[in-house]
């Protein structure tokens, strides 16, 4: 069963989300606060595929819930719900480990498309790919079997989005990758969101793999175009 933890303090929005996710076969545990969401996560033994978190909640907000959940699991999919004017909230959520965000108001089709896309990535991490191959690029080694990345033999914790980004880069060393191409490859053909999500995730990934994230040598910017991987 596909399980989702929903944290949204507005009753009407929460009910809308639950109804539509139930229709698509998801088992939903819905909560009205960050505190309750964290409690339900622990009560369920962490057995959730996705967490859908509203940013603006009284008490423990969505950012803090995201941060705590990501610290407990690198594989859970996390989607933030933000208001249209909260541009910095989108960036902040992604930097804290969220995989995606949905801007209110949103349609049932957008909700399901975004949730399904994240669920596909989570499913890959749980079932494991058929291939047991590895990609070695300089000091980095990426394992498809364990879905892990090491640098000089030291494990680097990655979210599923970060893993897919590294897989794409390491499979195409030295090639300039256009932002739209990266978006399509990692987030899928039918992704609704802004291409800026690529930049934010690259920023987060650089913090993990670069000696000096402000002066990256591995994920280099191709100005006005995108990025390229240099081992």
What is the percent of the chain where pLDDT is above 90?
71
Rounded-to-integer distance, Cα 40 and Cα 94, Å: 23
At 187, which CATH number? Answer: 1.10.10.10
Last residue of a domain, one of 76, 107, 127: 127
In this predicted model, what pLDDT tens digit does every residue of 110-166 receive, in sequence order? Answer: 999 899 989 988 887 665 544 558 999 999 999 988 889 999 999 999 988 999 999
Report the 10 Å Cβ neighbour count for 26: 22
pTM for this entry: 0.83
Specify the number of domains making up the chain.
2
- Rg of the chain over all Cα atoms, to the nearest angstrom: 18
Looking only at the bridges linking them, the beta strands covering 77-83 and 50-54 are parallel
At 17, which CATH number? Answer: 3.40.50.2300
What's the domain range around 84? Answer: 2-127
Q: What is the pLDDT of residue 127?
A: 55
Last residue of a domain, one of 93, 127, 161: 127
Tell me, yes or no, whether 154 and 216 share the same domain. Answer: yes
User: Using CB atoms within 10 A of its CB, is residue 35 exposed (0-12), middle (13-18) or buried (19+)?
Assistant: middle
Tell me, yes or no, whether 19 and 123 share the same domain. Answer: yes
Q: What is the pLDDT of residue 189?
A: 80
Looking only at the bridges linking them, the beta strands covering 100-104 and 134-137 are unpaired
Q: Is residue 57 very low, low, confident or very high in pLDDT (cuts 50, 70, 90)?
A: very high
Tell me, yes or no, whether 161 and 221 share the same domain. Answer: yes
User: For residue 71, what are its two tokens?
Assistant: 């610290």
Q: Is residue 20 very low, low, confident or very high in pLDDT (cuts 50, 70, 90)?
A: very high
């Amino acid at each position: 069963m596909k399980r989702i933890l929903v944290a949204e303090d507005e009753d009407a929005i929460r009910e809308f989300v639950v109804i539509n996710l139930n229709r698509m076969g998801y088992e939903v545990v819905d909560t009205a606060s960050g505190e309750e969401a964290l409690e339900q996560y622990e009560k369920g033994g962490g057995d959730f595929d996705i967490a859908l978190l509203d940013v603006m909640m009284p008490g423990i907000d969505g950012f803090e819930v995201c941060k705590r959940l990501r610290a407990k699991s690198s594989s859970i999919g996390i989607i933030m719900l933000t208001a249209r004017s909260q541009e910095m909230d989108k960036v902040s959520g992604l930097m804290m480990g969220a995989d995606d965000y949905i801007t209110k108001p949103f349609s049932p089709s957008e909700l399901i498309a975004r949730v399904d896309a994240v669920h596909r990535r989570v499913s890959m991490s749980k079932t494991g790919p058929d291939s047991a191959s590895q990609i070695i690029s300089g000091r980095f080694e990426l394992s498809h079997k364990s879905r892990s990345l090491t640098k000089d033999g030291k494990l680097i914790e990655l979210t599923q989005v970060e893993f897919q980004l590294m897989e794409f880069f390491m499979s195409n060393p030295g090639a300039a990758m256009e932002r739209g191409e990266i978006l399509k490859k990692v987030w899928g053909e039918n992704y609704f969101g802004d291409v800026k999500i690529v930049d934010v995730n690259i920023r987060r990934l650089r913090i993990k793999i670069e000696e000096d994230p402000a002066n990256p040598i591995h994920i280099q910017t191709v100005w006005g175009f995108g990025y390229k991987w240099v081992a």
